[in-house]
Structure 1
Protein backbone atom coordinates (compact mmCIF):
# COMPACT_ATOMS: atom_id res chain seq x y z
CA UNK A 1 0.00 0.00 0.00
CA UNK A 2 1.39 3.39 -1.00
CA UNK A 3 1.42 6.45 1.25
CA UNK A 4 -1.36 8.03 -0.78
CA UNK A 5 -3.52 4.93 -0.40
CA UNK A 6 -2.75 4.62 3.30
CA UNK A 7 -3.74 8.18 4.15
CA UNK A 8 -7.52 7.70 3.73
CA UNK A 9 -7.32 4.51 5.77
CA UNK A 10 -5.49 6.29 8.60
CA UNK A 11 -7.94 9.18 8.53
CA UNK A 12 -10.88 6.76 8.58
CA UNK A 13 -9.45 4.89 11.57
CA UNK A 14 -8.89 8.16 13.43
CA UNK A 15 -12.48 9.22 12.81
CA UNK A 16 -13.75 5.87 14.07
CA UNK A 17 -11.64 6.21 17.23
CA UNK A 18 -12.91 9.75 17.82
CA UNK A 19 -16.48 8.64 17.20
CA UNK A 20 -16.08 5.77 19.67
CA UNK A 21 -14.69 8.08 22.36
CA UNK A 22 -17.48 10.56 21.67
CA UNK A 23 -20.16 7.89 22.08
CA UNK A 24 -18.59 6.65 25.32
CA UNK A 25 -18.43 10.16 26.78
CA UNK A 26 -22.02 10.91 25.74
CA UNK A 27 -23.19 7.59 27.22
CA UNK A 28 -21.40 8.39 30.49
CA UNK A 29 -22.93 11.88 30.50
CA UNK A 30 -26.39 10.38 29.92
CA UNK A 31 -25.87 7.98 32.80
CA UNK A 32 -24.84 10.82 35.10
CA UNK A 33 -27.89 12.85 34.11
CA UNK A 34 -30.17 9.90 34.79
CA UNK A 35 -28.54 9.33 38.17
CA UNK A 36 -28.94 13.00 39.13
CA UNK A 37 -32.38 13.62 37.66
CA UNK A 38 -33.62 15.50 40.74
CA UNK A 39 -30.64 17.89 40.64
CA UNK A 40 -31.23 18.49 36.92
CA UNK A 41 -34.92 19.26 37.48
CA UNK A 42 -34.06 21.68 40.30
CA UNK A 43 -31.46 23.41 38.14
CA UNK A 44 -33.92 23.76 35.26
CA UNK A 45 -36.55 25.32 37.54
CA UNK A 46 -34.00 27.79 38.90
CA UNK A 47 -32.92 28.82 35.41
CA UNK A 48 -36.55 29.38 34.39
CA UNK A 49 -36.88 31.98 37.16
CA UNK A 50 -33.61 33.76 36.30
CA UNK A 51 -33.22 37.54 35.97
CA UNK A 52 -34.00 38.49 32.36
CA UNK A 53 -31.67 41.52 32.26
CA UNK A 54 -28.64 39.43 33.17
CA UNK A 55 -29.65 36.83 30.58
CA UNK A 56 -29.79 39.56 27.92
CA UNK A 57 -26.28 40.61 28.93
CA UNK A 58 -25.21 36.97 28.62
CA UNK A 59 -26.72 36.88 25.11
CA UNK A 60 -24.73 39.99 24.12
CA UNK A 61 -21.54 38.35 25.40
CA UNK A 62 -22.33 35.17 23.46
CA UNK A 63 -22.79 37.14 20.22
CA UNK A 64 -19.49 38.90 20.90
CA UNK A 65 -17.65 35.57 20.96
CA UNK A 66 -18.29 35.07 17.23
CA UNK A 67 -16.96 38.54 16.43
CA UNK A 68 -13.85 37.89 18.54
CA UNK A 69 -13.32 34.54 16.82
CA UNK A 70 -13.43 36.36 13.47
CA UNK A 71 -10.92 38.97 14.69
CA UNK A 72 -8.54 36.24 15.89
CA UNK A 73 -8.88 34.34 12.60
CA UNK A 74 -8.10 37.51 10.64
CA UNK A 75 -5.06 38.05 12.83
CA UNK A 76 -3.73 34.59 11.98
CA UNK A 77 -3.29 35.44 8.27
CA UNK A 78 -1.61 38.31 6.47
CA UNK A 79 -4.22 38.59 3.72
CA UNK A 80 -7.33 40.69 4.31
CA UNK A 81 -10.46 38.52 4.62
CA UNK A 82 -14.03 39.68 3.82
CA UNK A 83 -15.37 40.83 7.18
CA UNK A 84 -19.03 39.96 6.83
CA UNK A 85 -18.42 36.47 5.49
CA UNK A 86 -15.68 35.92 8.08
CA UNK A 87 -18.06 36.60 10.99
CA UNK A 88 -20.76 34.49 9.30
CA UNK A 89 -18.25 31.66 8.89
CA UNK A 90 -17.45 31.74 12.62
CA UNK A 91 -21.16 31.60 13.43
CA UNK A 92 -21.57 28.63 11.08
CA UNK A 93 -18.43 27.00 12.46
CA UNK A 94 -19.88 27.13 15.96
CA UNK A 95 -22.91 25.15 14.80
CA UNK A 96 -20.79 22.65 12.85
CA UNK A 97 -18.56 22.23 15.90
CA UNK A 98 -21.49 20.67 17.78
CA UNK A 99 -21.88 17.97 15.12
CA UNK A 100 -18.33 16.60 14.84
CA UNK A 101 -15.84 15.63 17.57
CA UNK A 102 -12.75 17.50 18.78
CA UNK A 103 -13.49 20.76 17.01
CA UNK A 104 -13.38 19.06 13.62
CA UNK A 105 -16.55 20.84 12.48
CA UNK A 106 -15.22 24.35 13.14
CA UNK A 107 -11.83 23.44 11.67
CA UNK A 108 -13.41 22.08 8.49
CA UNK A 109 -15.58 25.17 8.00
CA UNK A 110 -12.71 27.59 8.60
CA UNK A 111 -10.31 25.58 6.44
CA UNK A 112 -12.78 25.63 3.57
CA UNK A 113 -13.44 29.34 4.07
CA UNK A 114 -9.75 30.27 4.03
CA UNK A 115 -9.06 28.21 0.91
CA UNK A 116 -12.04 29.88 -0.79
CA UNK A 117 -10.42 33.22 0.09
CA UNK A 118 -7.35 32.24 -1.93
CA UNK A 119 -5.02 30.73 0.69
CA UNK A 120 -3.36 27.40 0.03
CA UNK A 121 -4.45 24.39 2.05
CA UNK A 122 -1.12 24.34 3.89
CA UNK A 123 -1.28 28.01 4.85
CA UNK A 124 -4.94 27.69 5.84
CA UNK A 125 -4.15 24.73 8.11
CA UNK A 126 -1.21 26.64 9.59
CA UNK A 127 -3.45 29.63 10.30
CA UNK A 128 -5.91 27.40 12.14
CA UNK A 129 -3.08 25.79 14.13
CA UNK A 130 -1.65 29.19 15.05
CA UNK A 131 -5.07 30.44 16.18
CA UNK A 132 -5.61 27.30 18.29
CA UNK A 133 -2.14 27.52 19.84
CA UNK A 134 -2.55 31.20 20.68
CA UNK A 135 -5.95 30.44 22.20
CA UNK A 136 -4.41 27.84 24.50
CA UNK A 137 -1.54 30.14 25.48
CA UNK A 138 -3.94 32.99 26.19
CA UNK A 139 -6.11 30.81 28.45
CA UNK A 140 -3.07 29.70 30.43
CA UNK A 141 -1.84 33.30 30.69
CA UNK A 142 -5.25 34.48 31.87
CA UNK A 143 -5.32 31.75 34.52
CA UNK A 144 -1.83 32.68 35.78
CA UNK A 145 -2.69 36.39 35.77
CA UNK A 146 -5.86 35.69 37.74
CA UNK A 147 -3.93 33.68 40.31
CA UNK A 148 -1.35 36.44 40.68
CA UNK A 149 -4.01 39.14 40.97
CA UNK A 150 -6.20 37.13 43.38
CA UNK A 151 -4.13 34.47 45.14
CA UNK A 152 -7.17 33.31 47.11
CA UNK A 153 -9.19 32.51 44.00
CA UNK A 154 -8.24 28.83 44.18
CA UNK A 155 -6.23 26.72 46.55
CA UNK A 156 -2.94 25.74 45.00
CA UNK A 157 -2.17 22.05 45.22
CA UNK A 158 0.83 20.87 47.19
CA UNK A 159 1.95 19.02 44.05
CA UNK A 160 2.13 22.20 41.96
CA UNK A 161 5.99 22.29 42.06
CA UNK A 162 6.07 18.73 40.68
CA UNK A 163 3.74 19.74 37.86
CA UNK A 164 5.90 22.75 37.06
CA UNK A 165 8.96 20.49 36.82
CA UNK A 166 7.17 18.29 34.28
CA UNK A 167 6.42 21.22 31.97
CA UNK A 168 10.01 21.79 30.77
CA UNK A 169 10.46 18.02 30.46
CA UNK A 170 7.44 17.82 28.14
CA UNK A 171 8.66 20.85 26.18
CA UNK A 172 12.08 19.24 25.81
CA UNK A 173 10.50 16.03 24.49
CA UNK A 174 8.61 18.02 21.85
CA UNK A 175 11.76 19.88 20.81
CA UNK A 176 13.69 16.59 20.57
CA UNK A 177 10.99 15.01 18.40
CA UNK A 178 11.08 18.01 16.05
CA UNK A 179 14.88 17.93 15.89
CA UNK A 180 14.97 14.20 15.05
CA UNK A 181 12.28 14.19 12.38
CA UNK A 182 13.17 16.03 9.17
CA UNK A 183 9.52 16.17 8.13
CA UNK A 184 8.52 17.78 11.44
CA UNK A 185 11.38 20.27 11.07
CA UNK A 186 10.11 21.34 7.68
CA UNK A 187 6.52 21.63 8.91
CA UNK A 188 7.55 23.65 11.97
CA UNK A 189 9.81 25.82 9.82
CA UNK A 190 6.99 26.68 7.44
CA UNK A 191 4.63 27.36 10.34
CA UNK A 192 7.16 29.64 12.05
CA UNK A 193 7.66 31.54 8.78
CA UNK A 194 3.91 32.19 8.63
CA UNK A 195 3.89 33.24 12.28
CA UNK A 196 6.74 35.70 11.65
CA UNK A 197 4.87 37.17 8.69
CA UNK A 198 1.80 37.73 10.84
CA UNK A 199 3.76 39.34 13.69
CA UNK A 200 5.59 41.68 11.32
CA UNK A 201 2.25 43.51 11.07
CA UNK A 202 1.36 44.92 14.51
CA UNK A 203 -2.33 45.17 13.60
CA UNK A 204 -2.49 41.46 12.71
CA UNK A 205 -0.63 40.46 15.89
CA UNK A 206 -2.96 42.56 18.04
CA UNK A 207 -5.98 41.04 16.30
CA UNK A 208 -4.68 37.50 16.86
CA UNK A 209 -3.79 37.86 20.53
CA UNK A 210 -6.45 40.39 21.46
CA UNK A 211 -9.22 38.50 19.69
CA UNK A 212 -8.18 35.25 21.37
CA UNK A 213 -8.13 36.88 24.82
CA UNK A 214 -11.49 38.57 24.26
CA UNK A 215 -12.97 35.29 23.01
CA UNK A 216 -12.05 33.48 26.22
CA UNK A 217 -13.12 36.37 28.45
CA UNK A 218 -16.50 36.73 26.73
CA UNK A 219 -17.21 33.00 27.15
CA UNK A 220 -16.37 33.43 30.83
CA UNK A 221 -18.54 36.55 30.80
CA UNK A 222 -21.52 34.51 29.63
CA UNK A 223 -21.10 32.26 32.65
CA UNK A 224 -20.65 35.21 35.03
CA UNK A 225 -23.86 36.78 33.71
CA UNK A 226 -25.79 33.51 34.11
CA UNK A 227 -24.42 33.19 37.67
CA UNK A 228 -25.82 36.64 38.48
CA UNK A 229 -29.07 35.87 36.67
CA UNK A 230 -29.87 32.98 38.99
CA UNK A 231 -28.78 34.94 42.07
CA UNK A 232 -25.73 32.83 42.85
CA UNK A 233 -23.29 34.84 44.96
CA UNK A 234 -19.97 33.65 43.54
CA UNK A 235 -17.06 36.08 43.01
CA UNK A 236 -16.41 36.74 39.32
CA UNK A 237 -12.78 35.68 39.69
CA UNK A 238 -13.78 32.19 40.84
CA UNK A 239 -16.26 31.85 38.00
CA UNK A 240 -13.69 32.90 35.38
CA UNK A 241 -11.13 30.49 36.83
CA UNK A 242 -13.72 27.70 36.84
CA UNK A 243 -14.36 28.28 33.14
CA UNK A 244 -10.64 28.36 32.27
CA UNK A 245 -10.01 25.11 34.14
CA UNK A 246 -13.12 23.41 32.73
CA UNK A 247 -12.42 24.42 29.13
CA UNK A 248 -8.85 23.16 29.43
CA UNK A 249 -10.00 19.84 30.86
CA UNK A 250 -12.74 19.45 28.24
CA UNK A 251 -10.19 19.87 25.45
CA UNK A 252 -8.74 16.48 26.42
CA UNK A 253 -11.94 14.66 25.38
CA UNK A 254 -12.95 14.85 21.68
CA UNK A 255 -16.69 15.35 22.05
CA UNK A 256 -18.74 17.56 19.70
CA UNK A 257 -18.58 21.12 21.04
CA UNK A 258 -17.37 19.75 24.39
CA UNK A 259 -20.81 18.19 24.90
CA UNK A 260 -20.70 16.12 28.06
CA UNK A 261 -17.03 16.76 28.80
CA UNK A 262 -17.28 20.55 29.16
CA UNK A 263 -20.64 20.27 30.93
CA UNK A 264 -19.30 17.89 33.56
CA UNK A 265 -16.01 19.77 33.97
CA UNK A 266 -17.76 23.12 34.32
CA UNK A 267 -20.28 21.78 36.82
CA UNK A 268 -17.49 20.25 38.91
CA UNK A 269 -15.40 23.43 38.71
CA UNK A 270 -18.32 25.60 39.81
CA UNK A 271 -19.12 23.20 42.63
CA UNK A 272 -15.49 23.34 43.75
CA UNK A 273 -15.72 27.16 43.62
CA UNK A 274 -18.59 27.04 46.14
CA UNK A 275 -21.76 26.68 44.07
CA UNK A 276 -24.47 24.23 45.24
CA UNK A 277 -25.13 21.32 42.89
CA UNK A 278 -28.50 22.52 41.50
CA UNK A 279 -27.14 26.04 40.99
CA UNK A 280 -24.10 24.71 39.12
CA UNK A 281 -26.43 22.71 36.86
CA UNK A 282 -28.47 25.86 36.21
CA UNK A 283 -25.36 27.77 35.17
CA UNK A 284 -24.22 25.00 32.82
CA UNK A 285 -27.68 24.76 31.25
CA UNK A 286 -27.84 28.53 30.76
CA UNK A 287 -24.37 28.63 29.24
CA UNK A 288 -25.18 25.76 26.88
CA UNK A 289 -28.50 27.30 25.91
CA UNK A 290 -26.97 30.63 24.90
CA UNK A 291 -23.75 29.42 23.27
CA UNK A 292 -24.82 26.15 21.70
CA UNK A 293 -28.47 25.13 21.55
CA UNK A 294 -30.20 28.37 20.55
CA UNK A 295 -27.65 29.29 17.82
CA UNK A 296 -27.63 25.74 16.42
CA UNK A 297 -30.42 25.99 13.81
CA UNK A 298 -29.56 29.56 12.66
CA UNK A 299 -25.91 28.53 12.45
CA UNK A 300 -26.70 25.55 10.24
CA UNK A 301 -28.85 27.79 8.01
CA UNK A 302 -25.95 30.24 7.66
CA UNK A 303 -23.66 27.30 6.90
CA UNK A 304 -25.97 26.16 4.11
CA UNK A 305 -26.22 29.73 2.75
CA UNK A 306 -22.44 30.16 2.70
CA UNK A 307 -22.04 26.84 0.93
CA UNK A 308 -24.70 27.79 -1.62
CA UNK A 309 -22.92 31.07 -2.35
CA UNK A 310 -19.59 29.22 -2.76
CA UNK A 311 -18.09 30.96 0.28
CA UNK A 312 -17.32 27.50 1.69
Structure 2
Protein backbone atom coordinates (compact mmCIF):
# COMPACT_ATOMS: atom_id res chain seq x y z
CA UNK A 1 0.00 0.00 0.00
CA UNK A 2 1.35 3.45 -0.89
CA UNK A 3 2.47 5.73 1.97
CA UNK A 4 -0.31 8.21 1.26
CA UNK A 5 -2.99 5.51 1.49
CA UNK A 6 -1.48 4.20 4.72
CA UNK A 7 -1.62 7.74 6.10
CA UNK A 8 -5.32 7.99 5.29
CA UNK A 9 -6.05 4.70 7.06
CA UNK A 10 -3.94 5.39 10.15
CA UNK A 11 -4.93 9.02 10.57
CA UNK A 12 -8.52 9.08 9.41
CA UNK A 13 -9.52 10.86 12.62
CA UNK A 14 -7.21 13.81 11.99
CA UNK A 15 -8.32 13.92 8.34
CA UNK A 16 -11.96 14.07 9.42
CA UNK A 17 -11.10 16.77 11.95
CA UNK A 18 -9.31 18.76 9.25
CA UNK A 19 -12.38 18.57 7.02
CA UNK A 20 -14.60 19.75 9.89
CA UNK A 21 -12.28 22.63 10.76
CA UNK A 22 -11.96 23.64 7.11
CA UNK A 23 -15.76 23.79 6.73
CA UNK A 24 -16.07 26.06 9.75
CA UNK A 25 -13.00 28.21 9.09
CA UNK A 26 -13.28 31.76 7.79
CA UNK A 27 -12.61 31.59 4.02
CA UNK A 28 -11.19 35.11 4.04
CA UNK A 29 -8.17 33.73 5.89
CA UNK A 30 -8.21 30.13 4.64
CA UNK A 31 -7.90 31.03 0.95
CA UNK A 32 -4.71 33.10 1.48
CA UNK A 33 -3.35 30.17 3.48
CA UNK A 34 -3.91 27.96 0.47
CA UNK A 35 -2.14 30.56 -1.66
CA UNK A 36 0.83 30.52 0.71
CA UNK A 37 1.09 26.77 0.26
CA UNK A 38 1.05 27.10 -3.52
CA UNK A 39 3.93 29.53 -3.03
CA UNK A 40 6.00 26.79 -1.37
CA UNK A 41 5.77 24.73 -4.56
CA UNK A 42 6.84 27.75 -6.61
CA UNK A 43 9.97 28.29 -4.51
CA UNK A 44 10.80 24.57 -4.49
CA UNK A 45 10.68 24.64 -8.31
CA UNK A 46 12.75 27.84 -8.40
CA UNK A 47 15.48 26.29 -6.25
CA UNK A 48 15.98 23.49 -8.79
CA UNK A 49 15.66 25.84 -11.76
CA UNK A 50 18.48 28.03 -10.45
CA UNK A 51 20.86 25.07 -10.33
CA UNK A 52 19.86 23.80 -13.76
CA UNK A 53 20.17 27.23 -15.37
CA UNK A 54 23.63 27.71 -13.86
CA UNK A 55 24.64 24.33 -15.34
CA UNK A 56 23.28 25.33 -18.77
CA UNK A 57 20.35 22.93 -18.51
CA UNK A 58 16.94 24.50 -18.98
CA UNK A 59 13.70 22.69 -18.26
CA UNK A 60 10.12 24.07 -18.47
CA UNK A 61 9.06 25.71 -15.21
CA UNK A 62 5.73 23.87 -15.35
CA UNK A 63 7.65 20.57 -15.22
CA UNK A 64 9.66 21.71 -12.21
CA UNK A 65 6.51 23.01 -10.51
CA UNK A 66 4.77 19.68 -11.09
CA UNK A 67 7.74 17.83 -9.66
CA UNK A 68 7.87 20.19 -6.69
CA UNK A 69 4.37 19.05 -5.70
CA UNK A 70 5.59 15.47 -5.74
CA UNK A 71 8.78 16.47 -3.89
CA UNK A 72 7.05 18.24 -1.01
CA UNK A 73 4.54 15.40 -0.74
CA UNK A 74 7.33 12.81 -0.71
CA UNK A 75 9.25 14.80 1.92
CA UNK A 76 6.13 14.71 4.11
CA UNK A 77 5.30 11.04 3.48
CA UNK A 78 8.89 9.79 3.86
CA UNK A 79 10.54 12.15 6.42
CA UNK A 80 14.25 12.20 5.55
CA UNK A 81 14.97 15.91 5.90
CA UNK A 82 14.20 16.66 2.26
CA UNK A 83 16.42 13.94 0.78
CA UNK A 84 13.63 11.60 -0.37
CA UNK A 85 11.87 14.29 -2.40
CA UNK A 86 15.12 15.57 -3.90
CA UNK A 87 16.05 12.07 -5.09
CA UNK A 88 12.64 11.73 -6.73
CA UNK A 89 13.11 15.03 -8.60
CA UNK A 90 16.64 14.09 -9.64
CA UNK A 91 15.54 10.73 -11.03
CA UNK A 92 12.63 12.35 -12.85
CA UNK A 93 14.97 14.90 -14.45
CA UNK A 94 17.42 12.13 -15.37
CA UNK A 95 14.60 10.51 -17.32
CA UNK A 96 14.10 13.81 -19.13
CA UNK A 97 17.68 13.84 -20.36
CA UNK A 98 19.54 15.47 -17.48
CA UNK A 99 22.96 13.91 -16.88
CA UNK A 100 23.59 12.05 -13.63
CA UNK A 101 26.42 14.41 -12.69
CA UNK A 102 24.28 17.56 -13.06
CA UNK A 103 21.34 15.87 -11.36
CA UNK A 104 23.52 14.87 -8.42
CA UNK A 105 24.95 18.39 -8.20
CA UNK A 106 21.41 19.79 -8.10
CA UNK A 107 20.52 17.32 -5.36
CA UNK A 108 23.59 18.25 -3.31
CA UNK A 109 23.00 21.99 -3.65
CA UNK A 110 19.34 21.48 -2.72
CA UNK A 111 20.29 19.32 0.26
CA UNK A 112 22.96 21.67 1.61
CA UNK A 113 20.80 24.78 1.31
CA UNK A 114 17.75 22.96 2.71
CA UNK A 115 19.65 21.98 5.84
CA UNK A 116 21.24 25.43 6.11
CA UNK A 117 17.81 27.10 5.99
CA UNK A 118 16.53 24.66 8.63
CA UNK A 119 19.46 25.47 10.92
CA UNK A 120 19.03 29.24 10.51
CA UNK A 121 15.29 28.93 11.19
CA UNK A 122 15.80 26.75 14.28
CA UNK A 123 18.42 29.05 15.82
CA UNK A 124 16.23 32.07 15.06
CA UNK A 125 13.22 30.40 16.69
CA UNK A 126 15.28 29.59 19.78
CA UNK A 127 16.47 33.21 19.92
CA UNK A 128 12.88 34.47 19.69
CA UNK A 129 11.80 32.13 22.49
CA UNK A 130 14.71 33.34 24.62
CA UNK A 131 13.84 37.00 23.98
CA UNK A 132 10.29 36.34 25.15
CA UNK A 133 11.54 34.28 28.13
CA UNK A 134 9.94 31.08 26.86
CA UNK A 135 13.15 29.15 26.13
CA UNK A 136 14.08 26.38 28.55
CA UNK A 137 16.57 23.52 28.70
CA UNK A 138 14.21 21.25 26.77
CA UNK A 139 13.99 23.73 23.89
CA UNK A 140 17.75 24.26 23.96
CA UNK A 141 18.39 20.50 23.92
CA UNK A 142 15.92 19.92 21.09
CA UNK A 143 17.32 22.68 18.88
CA UNK A 144 20.90 21.61 19.66
CA UNK A 145 20.16 18.01 18.65
CA UNK A 146 18.35 19.24 15.54
CA UNK A 147 21.26 21.49 14.52
CA UNK A 148 23.77 18.66 15.04
CA UNK A 149 21.76 16.30 12.83
CA UNK A 150 21.14 18.96 10.18
CA UNK A 151 24.82 19.84 9.97
CA UNK A 152 26.18 16.29 10.26
CA UNK A 153 24.31 14.90 7.25
CA UNK A 154 25.49 17.33 4.55
CA UNK A 155 28.99 17.50 6.07
CA UNK A 156 29.26 13.70 5.89
CA UNK A 157 28.04 13.65 2.27
CA UNK A 158 30.40 16.44 1.18
CA UNK A 159 33.30 14.79 3.05
CA UNK A 160 32.58 11.53 1.22
CA UNK A 161 32.46 13.39 -2.10
CA UNK A 162 35.81 15.07 -1.44
CA UNK A 163 37.50 11.82 -0.40
CA UNK A 164 35.96 9.85 -3.27
CA UNK A 165 37.12 12.44 -5.81
CA UNK A 166 40.69 12.11 -4.48
CA UNK A 167 40.49 8.32 -4.23
CA UNK A 168 41.05 8.47 -0.47
CA UNK A 169 37.76 7.12 0.77
CA UNK A 170 38.19 4.50 3.53
CA UNK A 171 37.75 0.97 2.22
CA UNK A 172 35.15 0.03 4.84
CA UNK A 173 32.73 2.65 3.44
CA UNK A 174 32.84 1.22 -0.06
CA UNK A 175 31.98 -2.21 1.34
CA UNK A 176 28.66 -1.01 2.75
CA UNK A 177 25.52 -2.17 0.85
CA UNK A 178 24.67 -0.07 -2.25
CA UNK A 179 27.27 2.48 -1.16
CA UNK A 180 29.67 2.16 -4.11
CA UNK A 181 27.22 3.31 -6.80
CA UNK A 182 25.98 6.17 -4.63
CA UNK A 183 29.51 7.38 -3.91
CA UNK A 184 30.44 7.23 -7.59
CA UNK A 185 27.42 9.38 -8.43
CA UNK A 186 28.25 11.89 -5.70
CA UNK A 187 31.90 12.07 -6.77
CA UNK A 188 30.86 12.79 -10.38
CA UNK A 189 28.92 15.93 -9.41
CA UNK A 190 30.76 19.04 -10.69
CA UNK A 191 32.40 21.03 -7.90
CA UNK A 192 31.80 24.34 -9.72
CA UNK A 193 28.11 24.34 -8.80
CA UNK A 194 28.76 23.44 -5.18
CA UNK A 195 31.31 26.26 -4.87
CA UNK A 196 29.23 28.95 -6.57
CA UNK A 197 28.38 31.43 -3.76
CA UNK A 198 25.70 33.18 -5.76
CA UNK A 199 23.96 29.91 -6.60
CA UNK A 200 24.15 28.75 -2.99
CA UNK A 201 22.70 32.08 -1.81
CA UNK A 202 19.85 31.96 -4.33
CA UNK A 203 18.82 28.40 -3.51
CA UNK A 204 19.20 29.08 0.23
CA UNK A 205 16.76 31.99 -0.06
CA UNK A 206 14.31 29.72 -1.90
CA UNK A 207 14.53 27.13 0.89
CA UNK A 208 14.13 29.81 3.55
CA UNK A 209 11.11 31.23 1.71
CA UNK A 210 9.43 27.80 1.95
CA UNK A 211 9.84 27.83 5.74
CA UNK A 212 8.52 31.38 5.99
CA UNK A 213 5.50 30.53 3.82
CA UNK A 214 4.71 27.45 5.93
CA UNK A 215 4.90 29.67 9.02
CA UNK A 216 2.67 32.21 7.27
CA UNK A 217 0.18 29.41 6.61
CA UNK A 218 0.03 28.63 10.33
CA UNK A 219 -0.41 32.34 11.08
CA UNK A 220 -3.29 32.56 8.60
CA UNK A 221 -5.12 29.43 9.75
CA UNK A 222 -4.98 30.65 13.35
CA UNK A 223 -6.95 33.67 12.17
CA UNK A 224 -9.28 31.47 10.16
CA UNK A 225 -10.38 29.77 13.40
CA UNK A 226 -10.60 33.12 15.28
CA UNK A 227 -7.54 32.42 17.43
CA UNK A 228 -5.03 35.01 16.11
CA UNK A 229 -1.37 34.88 17.10
CA UNK A 230 1.68 36.96 16.22
CA UNK A 231 3.69 35.84 13.21
CA UNK A 232 6.80 35.16 15.31
CA UNK A 233 4.74 32.71 17.38
CA UNK A 234 3.62 30.90 14.23
CA UNK A 235 7.23 30.82 13.01
CA UNK A 236 8.43 29.32 16.31
CA UNK A 237 5.56 26.84 16.38
CA UNK A 238 6.22 25.59 12.87
CA UNK A 239 10.00 25.49 13.24
CA UNK A 240 10.01 23.69 16.59
CA UNK A 241 7.44 21.21 15.26
CA UNK A 242 9.69 20.55 12.27
CA UNK A 243 12.64 20.02 14.61
CA UNK A 244 10.70 17.53 16.72
CA UNK A 245 9.67 15.61 13.58
CA UNK A 246 13.32 15.45 12.46
CA UNK A 247 14.84 14.45 15.81
CA UNK A 248 12.07 11.97 16.68
CA UNK A 249 10.72 10.84 13.28
CA UNK A 250 7.45 8.90 13.13
CA UNK A 251 5.96 6.83 10.32
CA UNK A 252 4.87 9.15 7.51
CA UNK A 253 6.04 12.12 9.59
CA UNK A 254 2.68 12.38 11.36
CA UNK A 255 2.22 12.83 15.09
CA UNK A 256 5.52 14.26 16.25
CA UNK A 257 5.15 17.44 14.19
CA UNK A 258 1.65 18.02 15.55
CA UNK A 259 2.84 17.47 19.11
CA UNK A 260 5.80 19.82 18.73
CA UNK A 261 3.83 22.60 17.07
CA UNK A 262 0.83 22.36 19.39
CA UNK A 263 3.06 22.25 22.47
CA UNK A 264 5.06 25.29 21.35
CA UNK A 265 1.96 27.35 20.58
CA UNK A 266 0.46 26.39 23.95
CA UNK A 267 3.71 27.37 25.67
CA UNK A 268 3.47 30.78 23.99
CA UNK A 269 -0.02 31.35 25.41
CA UNK A 270 -2.36 30.00 22.74
CA UNK A 271 -5.21 27.89 24.19
CA UNK A 272 -4.40 24.21 23.73
CA UNK A 273 -7.57 23.40 21.81
CA UNK A 274 -7.02 26.34 19.44
CA UNK A 275 -3.33 25.39 19.03
CA UNK A 276 -4.28 21.83 18.11
CA UNK A 277 -6.96 23.02 15.69
CA UNK A 278 -4.56 25.41 13.96
CA UNK A 279 -1.93 22.67 13.72
CA UNK A 280 -4.41 20.21 12.22
CA UNK A 281 -5.48 22.81 9.66
CA UNK A 282 -1.84 23.51 8.82
CA UNK A 283 -1.16 19.79 8.47
CA UNK A 284 -4.21 19.45 6.27
CA UNK A 285 -3.00 22.13 3.89
CA UNK A 286 0.60 20.87 3.80
CA UNK A 287 -0.11 17.12 3.68
CA UNK A 288 -3.73 16.06 3.23
CA UNK A 289 -4.81 18.55 0.55
CA UNK A 290 -1.85 17.99 -1.82
CA UNK A 291 -1.89 14.24 -1.14
CA UNK A 292 -3.92 13.26 -4.22
CA UNK A 293 -1.96 15.26 -6.82
CA UNK A 294 1.34 14.62 -5.00
CA UNK A 295 0.72 10.88 -4.75
CA UNK A 296 -0.45 10.66 -8.36
CA UNK A 297 2.58 12.57 -9.71
CA UNK A 298 5.02 10.63 -7.53
CA UNK A 299 3.56 7.26 -8.58
CA UNK A 300 3.56 8.36 -12.22
CA UNK A 301 7.20 9.39 -12.08
CA UNK A 302 8.33 6.28 -10.19
CA UNK A 303 6.51 4.00 -12.62
CA UNK A 304 8.40 5.55 -15.56
CA UNK A 305 11.89 5.35 -14.05
Asked whether the two chains share a fold, i.e. TM above 0.5, the reply is yes
Q: Structure 1: 5+ residue runs without aligned partners? A: 1-18
Q: Tell me the residue number matched to 1:283.
A: 278
Instruction: Please give the per-residue CA displacement for 1:46-80, whole angstroms capped at 9, x wherever unaligned.
Output: 65432111100100001111111111223344233
Cα offset, 1:196, TM superposition: 3.9
Change beyond 3 A, Cα 1:81–1:252: farther
Equivalent runs, 1:35-54 vs 2, <5 Å: 48-54=23-29
The structure-2 alpha-carbon separation of the partners of 1:278 and 1:259, relative to structure 1 and needing over 3 Å to count, comes to same
Where do 1:1-312 residues align within 5 Å? 48-77=23-52, 78=55, 79-100=57-78, 102=80, 106-121=85-100, 123-145=102-124, 152-153=131-132, 155-157=134-136, 182-183=168-169, 194=190, 196-200=192-196, 202=198, 204-255=199-250, 257-303=252-298
RMSD, aligned CA: 4.5
In structure 2, relative to structure 1, the CA distance for the partners of 1:180 and 1:46 (3 Å cut) is closer
Change (3 A) 1:236 1:192: farther
Q: By how many angstroms is 1:284 displaced?
A: 1.6
Q: Distance in 2 between matches of 1:158 and 1:100?
A: 29
Give the superposition deviation at 1:86: 0.8
Q: Secondary structure at the match of 1:55?
A: helix
Using the size of structure 2 for normalisation, the TM-score is 0.70
Gap runs ≥5 in structure 2: 175-182
Aligned partner of residue 237 in structure 2, secondary structure:
helix
| TM-score, normalisation: structure 1 | 0.69
Greater C-alpha Rg: 1
SS in 2 for 1:251: helix
> What SS does the aligned partner of 2:169 have?
helix
CA positional deviation for 1:138 = 1.2
CA distance in 2, matches of 1:229, 1:158: 33
Task: With a CA cutoff of 8 Å and minimum separation of 6, indicate the structure with the bigger relative contact order.
Answer: 1
CA distance in 2, matches of 1:131, 1:218: 18
Shift of 1:107: 3.8
